[in-house]
Homo-oligomer: A and B are copies of this chain.
Amino acid sequence: MPQGTPEHVPDDGLTTRQRRNRPLVIVHTGPGKGKSTAAFGLALRAWNQGWPVGVFQFVKSAKWRVGEERALRLLGETGQGGAVSWNKMGEGWSWIQRDAGSHAEQAAEGWAQVTRDLSAQTYRLYVLDEFTYPMKWGWVDVDEVVSVLAARPGHQHVVITGRDADPRLIEAADLVTEMTKVKHPMDAGQKGQKGIEW
C-alpha cells in the first residue's frame, strides 16, 4: 500500500476533500514522555499555517513548559504566522481577575473558557495541556467535554494531553497516540534536568 493511502474509503457521503479537512480531536496519552512536547510541536505547524493557537495549561508548576511558552509567545508576536494565546492555570486564568479558588474550580473555569472559545471559533488549534487530569478527578465532566467537542462549529482542531485519558474521550477522538515508557533516566536514579524536562 502506498504511503498516505487510506486502508479503506468510508461510505460517509463526504468527498475526499471534505474528509481530509475534517477538524480533529487528537489525544496524546499514556505513561511515556512526549505527550505535551508533541502537542507543542503540532502548535508549530499550526503557527506556520497562520492559524490562531490557544494553549490552556491545566497544570500548576513554575518550571513546566517555560521553553515552549517563551518560544510560542515569541513566534506569535512576530506576525509571521498565527497568533498565540497562552493561558496558565498556575497564574490564575488571564480572563479572571480574582483569586479563582480551588484547583477544581480553576479547572472548571478553564474548561468554561474553552467552551466559550470553541463556540466563538476563537482559535484554529487548541492545546489543552494535561486536561485529562481534571476529567479524571471529576472536576470537569467527561460527557460534557465530549458533547461540546462534538458540537464545536467550523474547523477547529483540539489536542488534549495527559495520562489516563477516559475511554469516552478516546472513543470521541479522531487520532489517539499512546506514549509508552520503554526506558527512562529516573529508573537509573536520574532526576529531571533543564532543557529536557522543562
Contact = CB atoms under 8 A, between A and B. Distances in A.
Nearest to A34: B38
Contacts of A42: 37, 196
Given A6-B191, A75-B74, A198 B45 contact: yes
A175 to B, nearest CB: 6
A6 B185 CA distance: 9
Contacts of A184: 175-176
Contact of A182 (B75, B178, B194): B178
Interface of A: 4-10, 12, 16, 19-22, 24, 26-30, 32-42, 44-49, 51, 66-68, 70-72, 74-75, 78, 80-81, 124-125, 157, 170, 173-198
